[in-house]
Amino acid sequence: MRKTLPVALALLQLAGCARALREPRPLDSIAGEAAKVSPGEVEGLLAKAEELYARGDPSSVRDAAETWLEAAAADGTRITGVLGTVKARVWLADHEAEPAARLEGAASAVETVQWCGRIAPDDPACSYWLGVALGVQARERPSTAISALPKMVDAFGRAAHAAPALDHGGPDRALALLYVRAPGWPTGPGDPEKGLEHAKRAVAVEGDYPPNLLALAEALSANGSEEESRAVVSRALDLARARAAAGDRDAREWVEEAERAVAGGVGH
């Protein structure tokens, strides 16, 4: 699972009023030519997609997304291919160089993730990834944010209730950043105190996971606890650097985020 996904909430804006969710096309229509594979090929496709995604470069992740989508279209009773597609599309929305490509990744993630909830409506991973996809879409297309925000709160809340350990405490981490960064009442659901509560819950799930500590530091800063916030950022930076030195490909981004917080003030 993409470990920096909650950062996608950072640029949420309330502008305009476009619908965040639209009726998705059938999976085989989304897949197009990629839908022409048999159910017997699914396991091989899933393994191939994981291998491609692990390479961590845009070209490979694009291929991974298409491969996962092939698997999803070939077997509409499973969510593995759907979730893989969404994970890859969100990664692309975070890493593509061109704005149009980032928007395409985000919009594709939102369309595809809706099938996860239809196939397995009680699976908390479907709720979590719906919230994530809506967040990156709102960042790339701010006019969808007003519609997206309550749906994100609901989706992350359901995931946090059912599976708080998902993605190293991801549902509560995402809620923490959403409440800290979103506008407050009456415009939006922003609430720094709620943000701090959820950040602490994420840290309780996995206290040495740098993104959880970075979310906690931002929430502490938003609640006026600057000294404690700086200490948490320092610990997050140390842990992220250690993971980067050990070869964790995601850790470099955590290091950069922590360094920006140290240089410019937490939460900025």
Q: What is the pLDDT of residue 6?
A: 42
Higher local confidence (pLDDT), 35 or 73:
73
Per-residue model confidence (pLDDT) at position 35: 62
Tens of pLDDT, residue by residue over 195-242, are 999 999 999 999 999 999 999 999 999 999 999 999 999 999 999 999
What pLDDT is attached to residue 70?
A: 94
pLDDT band at 16 (very low <50, low <70, confident <90, very high): low
pLDDT digits (tens, 9 = 90+) for 42-71: 999 999 999 999 999 999 999 999 999 999
| Tens digits of residue pLDDT in 160-179 | 999 999 999 999 999 999 99
Hey, CA dihedral for 60, 65, 71, 77, is it positive or negative? positive
Which pLDDT score, from 0 to 100, does residue 11 have?
A: 40
- Long-range CB pairs of 246-253 (<8 Å, 24+ gap) are 249/56, 250/2, 250/3, 250/4, 251/210, 253/4, 253/7
Please tell me the predicted confidence (pLDDT) of residue 264. 74
Q: Which of 96, 84, 81 is nearest to 39 (CA)?
A: 81
Burial class (CB in 10 A: 0-12, 13-18, 19+), 247: exposed
pLDDT of residue 46: 97
Distance CA 71, CA 53 (A): 15
What pLDDT does residue 146 have?
A: 86
Confidence of residue 266 (pLDDT cuts 50, 70, 90): low
What is the value of pTM for the model shown? 0.89
